[in-house]
Structure 1
Amino acid sequence: MVARVRLRHPCRHFQNNYQETAIKHTSLQIIRDEHASLAAMLRSMTLMVDRGPGDNPQQFFDVLRAMLFYIDEFPERLHHPKESDLLFPRIVRAAPAVMDAVERLERDHMSGEKAVRELQHLLLAWELLGEPRRPAFVDQCKRYVEFYLEHMRLEESVILPEAEKMLTDADWKELDAAFEKNCDPLAGKYPPDPEYARLFTRIVMRAPAPIGLGDA
């Protein structure tokens, strides 16, 4: 059984922008929940990298591999495509002023999968070839985390508020139906897909807060 953890919202600047506003649309809440769980993952990963392997390198690399696999498997293949295919076209039609922001976000989406794969390769090099390969992973990991947090901040501060103001009830009906199928277990609200049960157990039980309960 996978441990279910109610995550604290790790992106305080996201939360403060909206804590006084009731969220009317399911898809908006799901997007923000998924951003929160991903930000928690990124912050936990940063903590782990800063601490280093310590006296348990096997667990250290095992958990980092699981985290990067999750990022590649869930946000890159499920969350981002729905934003690109469903949300962004609607918001550009309704509010053309956000076109520049959407184009930047789309460029981020296009480069995201490649960036994760590069991190996975650099991590494997560190694990197999030792300390000489550590700086390359650490540097790239920090840049990736900063890139991703800024990406989500732009969505939260520009795109989602504009969508809330400009999209129609018909738009929201389609968006809600699509995003309700995501069910990210790390958001703390949904049971895991059995296919990913071991992955989520590994992350939650071994990774440090804010994403997990461990001290890897």
Structure 2
Amino acid sequence: MSEQTTEMAPAQSRSEQAVRIIVHEHQALWRVLDLLDQLLSDMNLNDQRPDERLLTTIFDYIEHFSQRVHSTPTDIELYKRLSEKSPETAPLLEKLARGYVVGHEKLVELRELLAECEKRWPEGREEFSHALARFTEALRKHIRKEEGVVIPRARKLLTEEDWQQIIEARDVENDPLFGERVREEFRELRHQIVSYTPEKFGGLGLKHADRVTAPHAEEEMLSIKGLVTSYGQIEVLHDVDIRINSGEIVSLVGANGAGKSTLLMTISGLQPVDRGSISFEGKDLGKISTDRRVAQGIVQVPEGRQVFKDLSVHDNLLMGAYTRGRTSEVMDDIERMYTRFPILRQKHHNLAGELSGGQQQMLAMGRALMARPRLLLLDEPSMGLAPLIVEEIFNIVKELKKEGITIFLVEQNASQALALADRGYVLETGKVVIEGTGRELLSNEKVREAYLGM
């Protein structure tokens, strides 16, 4: 009899198992909304300047859920099956699904208002405060609808077979509520929120930089004029002109052998300049050694990752901070790298050579970030990686931009590189042949034919 009970228990608990997952995510959202109310009150009543990093992380958490839920209920297995069993519920599910899309648009607006509030404080407070209050109230109503209508109807109408299919769904694109990878990403973002939240609001109070936006966006950071460099008698770059402004992502695309990596090595000081100039924040880099360039904030993640394979993951990260010494700040930054790249914490005793290609790329990026770059040079970060890892790498690049790091991205994956970019350049046989905004280059017929396969 006990054996029979053991076999039947999973079947009897399928619906409850699925509902627990939903309720767990909703409980997390309720806690985040309560925290937003506390931060809003602190800002308005106590004149507390907003913590841009904490608020951005909260927005990332909410947006992450919104992005995983597409534009129709059929993208969520639960919504799909409930619509089939209860056609009268379909309009509500459509409305809830549209709410995710509208919510995403509102988050974009909130990020802009937050950056403006931080820039003009306290003048921008009122507009940001009102927009945030409206957003949190709308999200509360959305959750109440799911908890008060969707879940009770699903419990009543869906069969155990339906619930089993819902639980077994694992495609992160088709089932955002139940994909294991997505739930893990939610957990990591919640961990960051708890870490950054002040102790007075029940968090850990981890010390961190409050600002995430570049303080002087639009100011010229790097200027390359008439650059020529050669390997022996062979000229590789021919009169290259490139400008990178503070806070931008600038992408450089081109075929193999176009000179993209050579350009990055020249900026880093690993390749000599024959003619022309490179200046960083008004300083002539020709007079600055390679190691001093790193100390001033120019840091490269090389093509092929090039981690120190015979050193541990932890020691690789320490090597990234070699210009800073062994200070408490360095150890704090290592902890931040482990938070940003959880796999590195798990593998911190492993030799770097034992890691997979994707893990080594995370390590190479973490090592570069340990130098606290202001201009990050990324050389083919997606090369040789699986599609899921490529997606993660580009998500990290977007996060780094939000944190105020200026990025020069060299990439053969032109579609993703230009989609990320504020501006871009096309390099052919050592010459810049096209430049423009990322959107302009994506729609350029020559670029589409040569690099996007269209």
Normalised by the shorter chain, which TM-score bucket? 0.7 to 0.9
Distance of aligned partners of 1:201 and 1:30 in 2 relative to their CA distance in 1, 3 Å threshold: closer
Aligned to 2:158: 167
Normalising to structure 2: TM-score of the pair?
0.36
Aligned to 1:183: 183
Question: How many residues get paired?
Answer: 182
Q: 1:114-167: CA deviations, max 9, x gaps?
A: 111111111111011222211111001001000001001001111111111111
Find the aligned partners of 2:29 and 2:55 in 1 and give their Cα distance. Answer: 14
Q: Which runs of structure 2 are paired with 1:1-216 in the superposition (5 Å)? A: 24-52=15-43, 57=49, 60-73=51-64, 75-78=65-68, 80-81=69-70, 84=73, 85=75, 86-178=77-169, 179=178, 181=180, 182-183=182-183, 192=187, 196=188, 199-207=189-197, 212-214=202-204
Aligned to 2:242: none
Find the aligned partners of 2:100 and 2:81 in 1 and give their Cα distance. Answer: 17
Q: Helix, strand or coil for the counterpart of 2:123?
A: helix
Shift of 1:180: 5.2
Distance of aligned partners of 1:201 and 1:183 in 2 relative to their CA distance in 1, 3 Å threshold: closer
**Contact 1:44-1:209 at 8 Å conserved across structures:** no
Distance of aligned partners of 1:91 and 1:82 in 2 relative to their CA distance in 1, 3 Å threshold: farther
Q: Which consecutive residues of structure 2, in runs of 5 or more, have no partner in the other structure?
A: 1-12, 170-177, 207-454
Q: Helix, strand or coil for the counterpart of 2:129?
A: helix
Find the aligned partners of 1:89 and 1:131 in 2 and give their Cα distance. Answer: 46
**Contact 1:40-1:210 at 8 Å conserved across structures:** no
Which protein, 1 or 2, shows the higher relative CO under an 8 Å CA cutoff with sep ≥ 6?
Answer: 1
Shift of 1:109: 1.7
Distance of aligned partners of 1:152 and 1:200 in 2 relative to their CA distance in 1, 3 Å threshold: closer
Distance of aligned partners of 1:90 and 1:69 in 2 relative to their CA distance in 1, 3 Å threshold: same
How large is the Cα RMSD of the aligned pairs?
A: 3.0
**Contact 1:30-1:180 at 8 Å conserved across structures:** no
Q: Helix, strand or coil for the counterpart of 1:131?
A: coil
Q: Which consecutive residues of structure 1, in runs of 5 or more, have no partner in the other structure?
A: 1-21, 187-191
Aligned to 1:15: none
Amino acid across the alignment from 2:138:
F
Find the aligned partners of 1:76 and 1:43 in 2 and give their Cα distance. Answer: 19
Shift of 1:87: 1.6
Amino acid across the alignment from 1:205:
S
Find the aligned partners of 2:155 and 2:71 in 1 and give their Cα distance. Answer: 17
Shift of 1:203: 1.4
Amino acid across the alignment from 1:47:
Q
Q: Which has the higher strand share?
A: 2
